[in-house]
Structure 1
Amino acid sequence: MNLGFKNIACLALLLCNFFIVKSYAQTFIITSPDGKLELSVSLNNSLNYSLNVSGQAVLVDSKAELTIEGVDSSKKIISVKRNSVHRILNPHVQQKSKDVVEHYNEISLQFDNKQSVTFRIFDQGMAYRFSTQKIGTLVVNSELALFNFDNDHQVLFPEEKSFISHNERLYLPKLLSEISSKQFASLPLLIDVMHSNKTNTKVVITETGLRDYPGMWLKGSDKTALSALFPKQVLKSELKEKSDRNENIIKRASYLAKVEITANQAERNFPWRVIAIGKTDAELLTNELSYLLADELKIANPSWIKPGKVAWDWWNANNIYGVDFTSGINTQTYKYYIDFAAQYGLEYIVMDEGWYHLGNVLDVVPDINVKEIIDYGKSKNVDVILWVIWETLDQQLERALDTYEKWGAAGIKVDFMQRDDQAMVNYYWKVAEQAAKRHLLVDFHGSYKPAGLRRAYPNVITREGLRGLEHNKWADYITAEHNLTLPFIRMLAGPMDYTPGAMINAHSKNFNIVFDRPMSKTTRAHQVAMYVVFESPLQMLADSPSNYLKEYQSTQFISVIPTVWDETRILSAKISDHIITARRSGDEWFVGIMGNSKAHDFTVDLSFLSSGDYQMESFADGINSEKYASDYQINKQSVTRLNKVKVRLAPSGGWVARLIKVKVKVK
């Protein structure tokens, strides 16, 4: 009996020592559901974490800290909660698929200063966010988010010059050590982590759940780390002389954000810091962390929200021809857009800049009758979206939206915000909420990246925040390589209004910058393939309706491509090189291939199809498309899931296929 007592006493002492050590070290391990990602979180003098992927280090001794005025920064853990979730979500506006798997493990650390931090780890990456239970007016003075990598890796760095930005950048390849502490970038950005065993892990850093708080940007450190910086609260700004959109920031606060926490709030959550992981390039294209971590649906019944395609006026400068009226910002021109949209089953047109006198979003120009245009559209099942400048709209917000609703408009395209400080982030949420009350869609241009708003308010159906086709009007840097970088980085954050569909196509040697008659620096098939590869539930047709009517075969092919999807499969992908995407809508499959400025040969394995026969119609680079980028060919053939289809892409080329299942006739 004495021997047993000693054993029990020794065991008790060992357990006591174990918990003392654990309490002192404050280290916690959490793994992804598939076991391939391992996160280590520790609290000594600071909150640190490290991340391994398949046993290889990615992040080491990274740091996270939130400093709130009047709250002691030194803290102790008073409770630890672990949780696991596995469920299927069904977004109302489907981007990649109708079923989104939410599967993660989670640890929450509660501190004695009424703050807590939660880490979630998925198979596709990890994220963390701070929360506070402190009531009253809180001033957030600073936030430390240090992403410290295991070694010196290449970054695709969307470098910025100012916090006043449309976030429309090129992705510049740089080593971490080459990025100084004075250089900074908007999000998302990508780090290509090369491991000692010669394998790679792709890391994309972004954020979601962004509300009542400034957006996060990243700067260099002259070493192997990136650290967050944030635009401080704007206290005073004014429009520049003779401008309705460009601001001078006159004064900023010394703090990042000021927030109100009421007694009936259980806690106040801050944004998620997202580290998306792709063990292959292709995995980045199906990553859903930005959506999964966002605030849940705020609209009671979103059934009125209708995705679709849009005939857009601004890119083509209303350059229509073969008509018996003078084209321009006038009622006849927009009726022509509506006629075109109706002919090809497009759901919307946009009335962009020029329909109102700048400075007053209710002062319609004499040549436009908005109500007549909207009523004409409704007679042909085509709805109208109205472009507005954000600041002018803000001055008249409820009155303007009430008027647009009365007119019968379907939505608004809000432009030139160019900021993501706390006040501007709150503006996005205000517009989303007020528009939803009136059943209006919202497309944000001149905007920051998607950061979770679309899950709470799916009427925010798409947004810009990328360097898209519009830049072809004044520059030559929208290359096929750029087009093949965007989906791996910017599209991971959410839908992107790139505005594809150029019908005038050229290669580098014969590309010209023509503002009023712009062209693409890719083949025609590359442009058509974007409608499958690029995600936007509201997808623009950027070129002139007259060009589309002339190029009716291309237009017909574009018109049948959905803008939302039941299922997405990435058959092959390599950043800046190529993407082969297969997407399903109902019983139909679409395959889109985009290539870079080199010619490519691919074999497309159709084994993703279900059993049975399919009729495949393909839109491919023409035999002369290497010389004449607008050349294309359309082919039809019968296929099954056993077929492997050979595809030849011209430089900056593309290929698209529509596969319709052949119904078996019942005798």
Structure 2
Amino acid sequence: MKQHFIYIVTFLFILSGCTSSKPTEVKSPDGQIRLAFVLDDNHRMSYRVDVNDTAFIASSSLGFLAKDGVNLSEGFRIVSTDFLSADENWTQPWGENKTIRNHYNEMAVHLADTTNTKLVLRFRVFDDGIGFRYEYEVAGADSILITDELTAFNIAQDGTSWSIPANYDTYELLYRTQPISKIDNANTPMTFKTGNTYASIHEAALTDFPEMTLKNVGDCQFKSELAPWPDGIKARMAGNSFKTPWRTLQIAPEAVGLINSGLILNLNEPCALEITDWIRPMKYVGVWWGMHLGVESWVINDRHGATTENAKRYIDFAANNNIEAVMFEGWNEGWENWGGNQSFDYTKPYADFDIKEIARYAKEKGIEIIGHHETGGNIANYEKQLDNAYRWYADLGVHSVKTGYAGGLPDGHSHHGQFNVRHYRKVVQTAAKYHTTLDVHEPIKDTGIRRTYPNMMTREGARGMEWNAWSEGNPPEHHVMLPFTRLLGGPMDYTPGIFDILYERAKKNPNRKQWNMKDSKDCRINTTLAKQIANWVILYSPLQMAADMIENYEGHPAFQFFRDYDADCDWSQALAGEPGEFVAIVRKAKDKYFLGAATNEMARTIDIKLDFLEKGKSYKAIIYADTKEADWETNPTAYEIIEKQVTADDTLTVAMARGGGQAISFIPI
């Protein structure tokens, strides 16, 4: 990571031995956002946020409750207040944007109580929102047991929200559009609009704490609810001091401003790795989708997907189509116990998967292997093998791994509690030791850890493609909801790009075993083909998958987009959109640009100015579009490829069918 031109000014305001009934305030660099901290005469802490001199977050509580009489919420007095301003540019080895501006004003309020317990409340206010965290030092404690968090977000007026229900074990839920006041509870990011302002509540730098969810305690007043340990304790902190994750509020005058925000990354620690040149974005295909359709299986049988023969077929396809990597699921012993003890062996391939030969063949072809570790939720089994499993893969030349945590955790633990947050962190650090990148499914939500450990490249954490194989599927609005919600936290391995929209080839396969929860005739992809192509751009992941079985790509003219696409982008910008309605995003990779636009169940036409293109250059625009007859329900595979010569002075009209989209490659002439 590189950092440039940082300017810091610090002031100290002493209020020794007293409380303050007057707010202590800090503004964003542009002056549009103002945050005030208040310690009232009863020693209760609160804050509020104004946007453009209008109340946005009304007076909201702060603090924690702890076991055994440890005071973490009341009785404090202000000792001093520090003010600091910073403006820096830092770079990352990969990302939507490789250069990030970190520009904020900070207020650190130092407090103490009569027992000499100390608290620093650190507030940072950016032009695109706020973040604050608690830094405690508890006098006389050798450990701290958190029982509740009092942090509140009292939204000043009702509006529209987009969220999923709070759940400590899964994020794979459909998003709801509803009045803010009607939300019972929500996972974060929770996105909303009130007045003319968009915002999203989330957290940053979740490394050793349970996840924060939100509970509506009345009207538009939301309180933090932490994922508990099995005994009800929320967080166990060793020693007498700890820092919480940042509580964040991204704020923008337009919905796309939330997507373009760098706030979550900016609140994470700089890169902890000395060398990062081994980390690189990649496009990949894999033995995966066939299992979900029942054409192939994870276990060794006559339908086994991860065989030596099939592996080489996928490697050949990747090598012939400008694709860097291939991923294999169902390659190792343990799948035959699915639903039982979930005890996988991470160094024992099935007999028909010659991993040494496959690794040799992949290297010969210049293709990377993405390994796979499914845990089935058996954390103890995985951690017992962790170091050896990553060393074994590294010795074979495998330096990228997809992990999975499907199934319940033992001993009453939740996926999102402190126990598993610590586990995910341990896996990231172990992988880094062996120069291995990660793609985590059933993860803890993304809170920007990729800045500190950029080998944590992508994760699931929402309803992905597989839901279309064995349920009613993801509705057309889902894909234009994710950029304004889940993806605000970071990249998602949605696994887009299914070309066999109606599973016509799969349903004709005589070996197919139907195991879906719904009758197969009800299962399909709820988009047009053009939208599947656009999703490669819209649903950002530095490890981007063409998820269909490769026979559905062979000879298909529209697959040229993925051949041309470069997952290693340098710059990105959301150009237009509204949550759940439509979105248009452009990304630059080297000298090429790629644009993806998509809509919900409504047909839509939007005009896109091409002023993001380099001035003075001409580009060949290769447009993958819905035809006039296309419709996600009745005619999903109707598409056309159009070529135009364009410059930065042009405007393109992007027409999208119901449930459709459009993808464009801009290649310099």
The TM-score normalised by the length of structure 1 is 0.86
* 2:633 corresponds to 1:659: no
- Give the 3 Å change call, closer, same or farther, for CA 339–519 of structure 1 in structure 2: farther
Of 254, 257, 262 in structure 2, the residue corresponding to residue 280 of structure 1 is: 254
1:191 lines up with 2:189 in the alignment: no
The residue aligned with 1:12 is none
The code of the aligned residue for 2:495 comes to T
Q: What are the equivalent positions in structure 2 for 1:333-482 lying under 5 Å apart?
A: 333-358=310-335, 359=343, 360-390=345-375, 391=379, 392-416=381-405, 419-482=415-478
2:165 equivalent among 156, 159, 178:
159
Query: Residue 530 of structure 1 is aligned with which of 524, 531, 535?
Result: 535
Query: 3-state SS of the aligned residue for 2:554?
Result: helix
Task: Output the CA distance in 2 between the equivalents of 1:305 and 1:174.
Answer: 41
1:292 has 2:266 as partner = yes
Question: Does 1:48 find its partner at 2:46?
Answer: yes
Deviations 1:413-433 (A, max 9, x none): 111166111110010110000
Q: Distance in 1 between matches of 2:600 and 2:486?
A: 18
Instruction: Please point out which of 237, 241, 245 is paired with 1:259.
Output: 237
Partner of 1:308: 282
In the other structure, the counterpart of 2:488 is 492
Q: Which moved more, 1:483-492 or 1:290-299?
A: 290-299
Q: Secondary structure at the match of 1:432?
A: helix
Shift of 1:588: 1.4
Q: Are 2:552 and 1:547 aligned?
A: yes
Match for residue 248 of structure 1? none
Q: Distance in 1 between matches of 2:15 and 2:359?
A: 70
The runs of at least 4 consecutive aligned structure 1 residues that moved more than 6 Å come to: 18-22, 511-518
> How far did 1:464 drift?
0.4
Q: Which piece of structure 1 moves more, 23-32 or 375-384? A: 23-32
For structure 2, the 5+ residue unaligned runs are 1-13, 297-301, 336-342, 407-413, 508-515
Instruction: Tell me what 1:168 maps to.
Output: 172
Structure 2: how far apart are the matches of 1:517 and 1:535?
28
Equivalent position amino acid for 1:38 in 2? R
- Give the AA of the match of 1:607: D
Matches of 2:520 and 2:315, distance apart in 1? 24
2-structure distance, mates of 1:530, 1:485: 12
**C-alpha distance after superposition, 1:285-323 (max 9, x if no partner):** 111211110122111101101111111222232859xxx
One-letter code aligned to 1:158: I
Q: Give CA-to-partner distance per residue, 1:90-136, whole Å, 9 cap, x none.
A: 01122x21211100001001111221110111111101100123474
RMSD: 2.5
Match of 1:316, SS state, is helix
Residue 235 of structure 2 aligns with an amino acid whose one-letter code is A
Q: Among 572, 578, 597, which residue is 2:601 paired with?
A: 597
Shift of 1:470: 1.2
Shift of 1:546: 0.7
**Following TM superposition, by how much is the alpha carbon of 1:516 offset from its aligned partner in structure 2, in angstroms?**
11
With over 3 angstroms needed to count, the CA separation of the structure-2 counterparts of 1:140 and 1:644, relative to structure 1, is: same
Map of 1:138 onto structure 2: 144
Match in the other structure for 1:236: none
Q: Is the 8 A contact 1:593 1:656 kept in 2?
A: yes
Instruction: Measure the CA separation in 1 of the matches of 2:236 and 2:546.
Output: 42
Paired amino acid for 1:232? P
The Cα shift of 1:656 comes to: 1.4
Residue 63 of structure 2 aligns with which residue?
65
Match of 1:93 in 2: 94
Could you tell me how far 1:326 is from its partner in structure 2?
7.1
Corresponding position: 1:124 with 2:128: yes
1:367-405 deviations in Å (ceiling 9; x for gaps): 111222122111111111222123232231112122111
Determine the structure 2 residue equivalent to 1:106.
106
Q: Which residue of 2 aligns with 1:241?
A: none
Question: Matches of 1:583 and 1:598 in 2, distance apart?
Answer: 25
Aligned-residue offset at 1:35: 0.9
Indicate the SS of the match to 1:24.
Answer: coil
Number of the residue aligned with 2:562: 558
1:643 maps to 650
Identify if the C-alpha distance between structure 1 residues 190 and 412 changes in structure 2 by more than 3 Å, giving closer, same or farther. same
Alpha-carbon distance between aligned partners in 1 of 2:19 and 2:235, rounded to the nearest angstrom? 33
SS of match in other structure, 1:108: strand
Question: Does the CA contact (< 8 Å) of 1:502 and 1:519 recur in 2?
Answer: no
* Residues 1:638 and 1:458: Cα distance change in structure 2 (over 3 Å): same
Runs of 5+ unmatched residues, structure 1 = 1-17, 195-199, 234-251, 663-667
Kept in 1, the 8 Å contact 2:17–2:77? The answer is no
For 1:574 and 1:175, locate their aligned partners in 2 and report how far apart those are by CA, in whole Å: 16
**366-375 or 128-137, which moves further after superposition?**
128-137
Q: Is the 8 A contact 1:176 1:220 kept in 2?
A: no
One of 26, 31, 34 as aligned partner of 2:30: 34
What do the CA deviations read for 1:340-380 (whole angstroms, capped 9, x no partner)? 11111211111113533242222321111122212211111
Distance 2:158 2:607 in 1: 36
Q: Return closer, same or farther for 1:516/1:351 CA change in 2, 3 Å cut-off.
A: farther
Using the alignment, how far apart are the partners of 1:132 and 1:437 within structure 2?
Answer: 31
1:469 and 1:429 map into 2 onto residues whose CA distance is 26
How far is the alpha carbon of 1:22 from its aligned partner? 9.6
Matched residues in 2 for 1:649 and 1:223: separation? Answer: 38
**252-261 vs 55-64, which moves further:** 252-261
Question: For this pair of structures, how many residues does the alignment match?
Answer: 604
Residues 177 and 638 of structure 1: CA distance in aligned 2, closer, same or farther (over 3 Å): closer
User: Which one is further off, 27-36 or 619-628?
Assistant: 619-628
Distance in 2 between the 1:65 and 1:631 partners? 56
Rounded Cα–Cα distance in structure 2 between residues aligned with 1:516 and 1:389: 29
Q: Which residue of structure 1 lines up, in the alignment, with residue 3 of structure 2?
A: none
Encode CA deviations 1:170-210: one digit per residue, 9 max, x unaligned.
1112333333xxx432221112213xxxxx21121111111
Distance 2:522 2:304 in 1: 14
Q: Distance in 1 between matches of 2:22 and 2:523?
A: 60
User: Which AA in structure 1 matches 2:636?
Assistant: A
Q: 2:510 is matched with which residue?
A: none
The residue type equivalent to 1:260 in the other structure is A
Measure, in 1, the Cα distance between the counterparts of 2:312 and 2:522: 21
Q: 3-state DSSP class of the match of 2:290?
A: coil
Distance 1:285 1:514 in 2: 37
Contact 1:319/1:517, CA 8 A, preserved across alignment: no
Contact 1:444 1:464 in 2 (8 A): yes
- What secondary structure is seen at the aligned counterpart in 1 of 2:217? coil
C-alpha contact (below 8 Å) 2:443/2:461 kept by paired residues: yes
Deviation at 1:565, TM superposition (A): 2.1
Bigger CA radius of gyration: 1
> Partner residue of 1:208?
204
Are the counterparts in 2 of residues 473 and 514 from structure 1 also a CA contact under 8 Å? no
Alpha carbons of structure 1 residues 570 and 177: separation in structure 2 relative to 1, 3 Å: closer
Q: CA deviation at 1:608?
A: 2.2
